[in-house]
Amino acid sequence: MQNFRFRALAETFNRQVVEVSYPSEKISDFYGSMVFNMDTMREYLTKEAFKSLMNTIDRGEKIDRRIADQVASSMKAWAMKHGATHYTHWFHPLTGATAEKHDSFINPVDGGKAIEEFSGVSLIQQEPDASSFPHGGIRNTFEARGYTAWDPTSPAFIIDQTLCIPTIFVSYTGESLDYKTPLLKSMEALEKAAVKVCQLFDKDIVKVYPTLGWEQEYFLVDSALFTARPDLVLTGRTLFGHSSAKDQQLHDHYFGIIHSRARAFMRDLEIEAHKLGIPLKTRHNEVAPGQFECAPIYEEINVAVDHNQLLMHLLDKVSRKHYFKVLLHEKPFEGINGSGKHNNWSLATNTGENLLSPGKTPSENLRFITIFVNILNAVYHHEELVRASVASANNDLRLGGNEAPPAIISAFIGDQLTQTLDEIEEMPGPGEIMGNVASNNNINIPKIPEILRDNTDRNRTSPFAFTGNKFEFRAVGSTANSAKPMIVLNSIVADQLSEFYDEVTALMDSNMSKEEAIFTVVKQYIRKSKPIRFEGNNYSEEWKAEAKRRGLSNHPNTPDAIKAYVSDRTIAMFERQNVLTSRELHARYEMRLDKYVRKLQIESRLIGDLATNHIIPTAIKYQNTLIKNVKGLKKVLDSKTYEALSINQIHNIRDISEHISSIRQLTEEMIKERKATNRIGSVVERADTYCTKVKPYFTKIRYHVDKLELLVDDQLWPLMKYRELLFVK
């Protein structure tokens, strides 16, 4: 029988492009058609219900029972018109995926009939039980109940004939068990702190909210080839595989012409995304062969996070129709680029301004510099937590992998802003500033040229880069729920802005003018946060040494990195901002360690399985052929010729034997180490030991397997090769 790999390859020979057409002429005709958005609400709700719901969305006012019933019933009518038969509360448990539990609208009535029903109570709150979700000990079995509660600020939508209602997920005792709850709380904290600071400049600013524009990277692999790689199926990445002779060294894929199967897939993806109101805008080829990116227009952060979660679901769903499998893993292939999810983050106001856009007037400039410097200082003060917010077993494989930012957090701000901050730092002390204020009525903040936007960035190596009117956090992993890093960013900036406000008002109380007080604190922050600024090459070895001198942390591995979540500094900050409690933080910390352990355990098991059941038998089979051949040669050749000719083959046989024996031995050692580690009671220690004692075997074993791949007859090799996975399309 032909080997599985060749059957899979044969399947790709006749692949056709699966063309899709738009459901109507223009995108704008179907954009948002599956969303219970403002327009739909206006159409379906009574005036009273609409107004009440708007108050809930804008001002967080409680919705009353009668109105909730009205909203639910309108939602149901709208959803049924669009073919929905079920509804679900849609939430983000700490698994990192999204969760749903579908209920039918059906309710039996007398006479053996049934009617469709959806009540306000079902809309607002549910108890999905869901006791199998990770909770880090927050829910003991006797209080295993978890509740989901409607988040009216993110619109309901229909997918797969199901009405999905975005919700938060909390325990019976009120602790959050999801990402959305702390995200919403972090937004509230940020708004409170930022509005206070903005009011120092402009009384019209009464609302501030963070915006997020994510860029999602992913790989496309033909579904048949994917299925022929058990490691891709179970772990999302290739555990073995020698590099392809050609991969990304010619840079011919980046921004190249999108091949027709991928293009058809993207078009389909965009149609589905647009129906759901996800404003996808950009698509292009990425650096690695088979790697792509898509990005929407930015949105308010809560909706943007929901949309990213939905998009990841759509990627998977739509790809099947096109005989592709989307790989979202941070590092599916060794030796070539992995995938990230750049999180572009900024602050918007009710006055329609972007607080990270340098202004035109000196006062606007002082506001911009104030916000900007506060962010730098926040990131500096909490750099370990910022790093921790993107840590995962997957992302550890990518960060520092020579195409992604390292595990050291620094901020890139560009030449012009560096110069501006340097100038401010050098400016005269308060007395002279007062003189300035007296004569000009404002402080001489150095002018920030308007061309700034086009001049910044393009330092692709920075994990946190200012790109003209937003910060781009590039260390986020491609599978991550963006809420995780965004909760951290919102909260630390909120905390920093509160501190700033207190310091400024304290100075004002001691008779300093407002401008002078702001200026004084800004100057201090510029000086204090200097170590976080780095304009050079983040991939370089020199930077590692320099960062160490500056006292910045460097934690390449998750178990070390996420300790920052339970440090005194972090707990105090999150509790001050009312985003997460110490108990919640400890629970989350343990859950992440546990997830880390499980991921490594699965990979280790599979490495053992593949090595023992796929690789070694194949190598032995080929070795036997060689042995038989050498024996045959001995029979037909005179001994002198035989010795001269067989030497290479015998060499080969010996090489193969050595690799086989190394794989055997290393696998046995790894299994022994794993079993011992599994018995460690403390999850902190277990994760550490998995990282330091079990994981190192992965690369050691892989080395020998990848060598064998080059030695063994291609016809026998059981695993799809890199050149096939990356280039067959």
Which positions touch Mg ion (CB under 5 A)?
A: 342
Phi and psi angles of residue 665, each rounded to the nearest 5 degrees, phi first: -65, -45
Residue 724's H or E segment, with its range, is helix 722-727
Among 97, 121, 297, 451, binds ligand ADP (CB under 6 A): 297
**Cβ-proximal residue to ligand ADP, closest one:** 213
Footprint of ligand ADP on 277-296 (CB under 6 A): 295
Q: Taking CB under 6 A as the rule, which mask of x and - marks residues 446-475 in contact with ligand ADP?
A: ---------------------x-xx-----
Tell me how far, at minimum, the Cβ of 511 lies from Mg ion, in Å: 46
In this complex, which beta carbon is closest to ligand ADP, that of residue 68 or of residue 497? 497
Half-sphere exposure of 553 (CA within 13 A, CB side): 18
In this complex, which beta carbon is closest to ligand ADP, that of residue 410 or of residue 677? 410
Q: Are 208 and 190 in contact (CB under 8 A)?
A: yes
Own/partner pairs, 426-429, CB within 8 angstroms, 24+ separation: 427/523
Q: How far apart are CA 497 and CA 192, in angstroms?
A: 9
Amino acid, single-letter form, for residue 359? G
In this complex, which beta carbon is closest to Mg ion, that of residue 345 or of residue 543? 345
**Cβ-proximal residue to Mg ion, closest one:** 342
Phi and psi angles of residue 562, each rounded to the nearest 5 degrees, phi first: -80, 0
In this complex, which beta carbon is closest to ligand ADP, that of residue 52 or of residue 467? 467
All residues at 6 or more sequence positions from 583 whose CB lies less than 8 Å from its CB, including other chains: 138, 175
In this complex, which beta carbon is closest to ligand ADP, that of residue 344 or of residue 689? 344
DSSP class of residue 110?
Answer: G
Footprint of ligand ADP on 477-536 (CB under 6 A): none
Footprint of ligand ADP on 318-377 (CB under 6 A): 344-346, 354
Q: How far apart are CA 376 and CA 394, in angstroms?
A: 27
Question: How far does Cα 4 stand from its chain's mean position?
Answer: 34
Three-state SS sequence of 253-309: CCCCCCCHHHHHHHHHHHHHHHHCCCCEEEEEECCCCCEEEEEECCEEHHHHHHHHH
Q: How far apart are CA 280 and CA 277, in angstroms?
A: 9
Q: Which does 12 bind (CB under 5 to 8 A by kind): ligand ADP, Mg ion, none?
A: none
In this complex, which beta carbon is closest to ligand ADP, that of residue 238 or of residue 344? 344
Q: Which does 354 bind (CB under 5 to 8 A by kind): ligand ADP, Mg ion, none?
A: ligand ADP
Tell me how far, at minimum, the Cβ of 359 lies from Mg ion, in Å: 24
Tell me how far, at minimum, the Cβ of 213 lies from Mg ion, in Å: 9
Q: How far apart are CA 512 and CA 514, in angstroms?
A: 6
Name the one residue in this structure whose structure tokens are 């937004």.
187
In this complex, which beta carbon is closest to ligand ADP, that of residue 182 or of residue 468? 468
Half-sphere exposure of 122 (CA within 13 A, CB side): 21
Tell me how far, at minimum, the Cβ of 215 lies from Mg ion, in Å: 5
Q: Which does 689 bind (CB under 5 to 8 A by kind): ligand ADP, Mg ion, none?
A: none
Tell me how far, at minimum, the Cβ of 463 lies from ligand ADP, in Å: 14
Q: Does 213 bind ligand ADP (CB under 6 A)?
A: yes
Nearest Cα residue to 311 out of 279, 263, 344: 279
Q: Which does 461 bind (CB under 5 to 8 A by kind): Mg ion, ligand ADP, none?
A: none
Token duo for residue 37: 């958005």
Number of residues that bind ligand ADP (CB under 6 A): 14
Q: Are 386 and 493 in contact (CB under 8 A)?
A: no
Footprint of ligand ADP on 416-435 (CB under 6 A): none
Q: How far apart are CA 115 and CA 449, in angstroms?
A: 65
Q: Which does 702 bind (CB under 5 to 8 A by kind): ligand ADP, Mg ion, none?
A: none
Name the one residue in this structure whose structure tokens are 């995926």.
97
Q: Does 74 bind ligand ADP (CB under 6 A)?
A: no
Q: How far apart are CA 68 and CA 88, in angstroms?
A: 16
Tell me how far, at minimum, the Cβ of 457 lies from Mg ion, in Å: 8
Tell me how far, at minimum, the Cβ of 165 lies from ligand ADP, in Å: 26
Tell me how far, at minimum, the Cβ of 29 lies from Mg ion, in Å: 30
Three-state SS sequence of 40-58: HHHHHCCHHHHHHHHHHHH
Q: Taking CB under 6 A as the rule, which mask of x and - marks residues 172-211 in contact with ligand ADP?
A: ---------------------------------------x
In this complex, which beta carbon is closest to Mg ion, that of residue 342 or of residue 588? 342
Tell me how far, at minimum, the Cβ of 491 lies from ligand ADP, in Å: 18
Q: How far apart are CA 11 and CA 290, in angstroms?
A: 18
Among 147, 157, 169, 298, binds ligand ADP (CB under 6 A): 298
Among 215, 516, 584, 590, binds ligand ADP (CB under 6 A): 215
Q: Are 261 and 15 in contact (CB under 8 A)?
A: yes
Tell me how far, at minimum, the Cβ of 417 lies from Mg ion, in Å: 18
Q: Which residues bind ligand ADP (CB under 6 A)?
A: 211-213, 215, 295, 297-298, 344-346, 354, 467, 469-470
